Amino acid sequence: MKQIISIIILSLIFSNSYSQRFDSKFDTLIASFGTRVGPFYEDSLRIPEIYTGKDFSIRLAENALDLRLESKILLNPSSDDHFPLSYSVIYDDHLISLFKPGNFICYRLEDFSRNTELEKSLNKKKFKRHSIIDNNLHAQTKFGFWNVYSGNKWKKANRIPNPEKFKSHLYYDSEFIVFSDCNGEWGGTLYFYHRPTKETYYTSATCANTVTRDKNGFKVLSHLGHGFGFADIKQIVEPTKLPKLKDFKGDKRSINAIGNSDTTNVAKEIFDFFGIQIFSTFPLSGKEHFIIHWQEMTFLAEINGTEILIVHPLFNSDLYTHDPITKNYKSGEVLINLDHYGSGLEREISMILVKGNKMTKIEWKEKH
């Protein structure tokens, strides 16, 4: 009831100075900020400025992006275990998910109907983890061996890195396969497996959720919710100048992440924001966009230097995740896998699928 009253009051306050100039899609988001950051009074909230701090500022776009939003709830029909064993992937126009005791469930992207014939073909073996590498579906057996699905059957996969712990491969191309692990407040590690030499290089990343590559090298987005939260982007031009994993001394292993021992300064900081979390970055409408969590709300924004420009309120919710992963697929989709420790521990409980100007929130079992 208090939140409803606050929204009504703020709507009245903004009726003259706000609604005539700015997209009404932002009303609920701004009202939410008001009840948390304020309470704001008419003379203290200066739309479009939302926040100005030491590390960054937040401003509201005049118009929200033209996005189509949908929500889907999917069920695992084969067991009482509601959440997948590993992060779902996109393969051959399907959403491919893996559930206990190691069976695949396949949903068509066009309408989210099940493809039971594909499931039968994939489920001739049982697996504990799966991923997409070289645009092919890979899966790992309980003994740690990787298989690749080819010609409607599973074959042994060669030259796939086999890390101790990770959620999914973050990036691949003909030269590198990139993956990571996260030790929370004790740091995280980003690994670059160099395919020509089979060497693995590493650096610090707490905790990496998105890796992209362009003519300027790799960009790595990381975030952590510990304390007040923080987010950063690092640029790595030449990963082969990072320390080699094989040279890491085993007796140095502790609760701290291996990546903390990288002292090469090869990874250059682009930004480092305190008091905010950035769950994902991906291209949309020809620009790089970010899913940002701030003041208990999650929204879509652009970042220019230290300025954050809110361009869409997304689902007008406090959508939260601890260790997400974003992948850009060659077929044009972006899939953002979301976990939530309080709901499914470290397992995927939902996803956001981006294709064109459509964003679909896909949830397992129930809304959260």
The pLDDT assigned to 255 comes to 80
Q: How far apart are CA 11 and CA 34, in angstroms?
A: 11
Report yes or no on whether pTM surpasses 0.85: yes
Bridge partners for 348 per DSSP? 339
pLDDT number for residue 168: 82
Inter-residue contact 322 to 343 (CB < 8 Å): no
**pLDDT score recorded for residue 112:** 95
The conformational region for residue 164 under phi > 0 = left, psi -120 to 50 = alpha, else beta, is: alpha
Strands ordered across the beta sheet of 348-355: 68-74, 358-364, 348-355, 334-339, 325-328
pLDDT given at position 21:
65
Other Cβ atoms within 10 Å of 152 Cβ, number: 9
The three-class DSSP label of residue 78 is coil
Structure tokens, 272 = 């480092």
- CB neighbour list of residue 114: distance below 8 Å, 6 or more residues apart: 77, 105, 106, 107, 108
| 348 CB-side CA count, 13 A | 31
Predicted confidence at residue 251, as pLDDT, reads 58
pLDDT of residue 252: 58
Mean pLDDT by 10 residues, the chain (368 residues): 47 45 85 61 64 92 95 83 93 96 95 96 95 94 92 90 77 95 91 95 95 96 92 97 89 78 95 96 95 95 97 94 95 95 88 96 76
> What pairs with residue 78 in β-bridges?
none
Residue 129 CA to residue 120 CA, distance in Å, equals: 18
Whole-number pLDDT of residue 47 = 79
Do 214 and 220 contact (CB within 8 A), yes or no?
A: no
Q: What is the pLDDT of residue 354?
A: 97
Cα-based angle 326, 221, 268 (whole degrees, multiple of 5): 150
